[in-house]
A = this chain, B = another copy of it.
Amino acid sequence: MVSIKDVARRAGVSLGTVSNVINRPELVSAQKRALVRAVIEELGYVPSESARQLRMGQSRILGLLVLDMGNPFFVEVARGAEHAARAAGLRVMVCNSGQDPREEADYLSLFVEQRVRGVLITPADISGVNHNGFVNHGVPFVFVDRVLPAAEGCSVSVDDVTGGALATRHLLEAGHTDIAFINGPSQLAQCADRHEGVRRALTEAGLAESAVTVLRVDHLDVASGRDAGARLMGLPRRPSAVFCANDLLALGLLQAVFAAGLRVPEDLAIVGYDDIEFAAAAAVPLTSVRQPAWQIGVTAAELVIAETGDDAGSHSHQRVVFQPELVVRRSSMPGR
């Protein structure tokens, strides 16, 4: 593979000059600049990023570790992050932990190996063990979709407690008294918070926490939603409404409900979370709690970029919290 040395030799100039043509062309006379550029073109020279990175000490890549690439919500977050990164001349390396803390640790160490400029992470593990190693290495990071004490680092999240309360309040107001909540593992901050929101709405309404049946699933995906749906059908007393911790679960539930021959919302009202694009196109359009996914990605990337920038000295950790919004569609409409 052709290196900068080959270009220099062919053009009859020194290494340094070629490098300057590439990185600081204003330092080179127009004549040599043109000559070198022509040779680069001729030889098809492409600088080696690893050599540059080795010399510079840091890469031009941001690491993004998401819980589930199969969830359009995270795809949208990734898009936002890419957008902001591009504006700063950086790239994003997207990885998928699949909610597995071991995979998470694995990818985080990959990020350190790559000496990424910064990391955006939706933590799979509330314990924070994984992220400790990180702090030691001094890699700037931002927690996405999870609040963090401001002293430790930046975070961008959505108020999931409010989100959970919004959904639950909506179902209570529609007159449902027998509600189920299909939730993921409580290790996930999102799940814990949304559950807390459910409790809060119940308390407000003067109801006991036990008024809601909680079904737990291991993964927040469509298949788990179907499973939970099947379990739901088997309950001695079937609830009249279900709040799902995300839209994938809700879509899976929807399938199970139809398979059982029930109608939505007449026999069962459903509310999801995330408002992914497919929620509106579902068998019965899904009521959902919308999160500004793209905006979350953009903000997180901007924060981590700011932390690595020239004025990093003056950087103080921030905690950005967006507000969720209830989008009511047919799946929870009363009186039909």
Contacts and interface: CB of A to CB of B under 8 A. Distances in A.
A38 interface: no
B137 A1 contact: yes
Given A51-B54, A79-B69, A114-B49, A282 B283 contact: yes
Nearest to A133: B44
Contacts of A57: 1
Contacts of A278: 222, 251, 278, 281
A205 interface: no
Interface in A41-89: 44, 46-51, 53-54, 57, 59, 69-70, 72, 75-76, 78-79, 82
A179 to B, nearest CB: 22
Given A47-B113, A115-B50, A281 B136 contact: no
A264 B282 CA distance: 13
Contacts of A53: 50
Contacts of A70: 72, 75-76, 79, 277
Interface residues of A: mostly helix, strand, loop or mixed?
A: helix
A112 interface: yes
A110 interface: yes
Nearest to A59: B50
A206 B47 CA distance: 57
A50 B44 contact: no
B281 A113 contact: no
Nearest to A110: B91
A48 to B, nearest CB: 6
A252 interface: yes
Interface residues of A, number: 47
A25 to B, nearest CB: 18
Given A49-B115, A50-B53, A284 B283 contact: yes
Nearest to A138: B1
B91 A94 contact: no
Contacts of A91: 110
Contacts of A72: 70, 72
Contact of A48 (B78, B79, B113, B222): B113
Interface string A216-256: 00000010000000000000000000000000000110110
A153 interface: no
Nearest to A253: B281
Contacts of A281: 222, 251-252, 254-255, 278, 282-283
A268 interface: no
Contacts of A50: 49-51, 53-54, 59, 114-115
B283 A115 contact: no
Interface in A1-57: 1, 44, 46-51, 53-54, 57
Contacts of A54: 48, 50-51, 54
Contacts of A82: 96
B1 A115 contact: yes
Sorted nearest first, the 8 A-B pairs with minimum C-beta distance are A50-B50, A49-B113, A50-B53, A251-B281, A278-B278, A46-B112, A50-B54, A49-B114
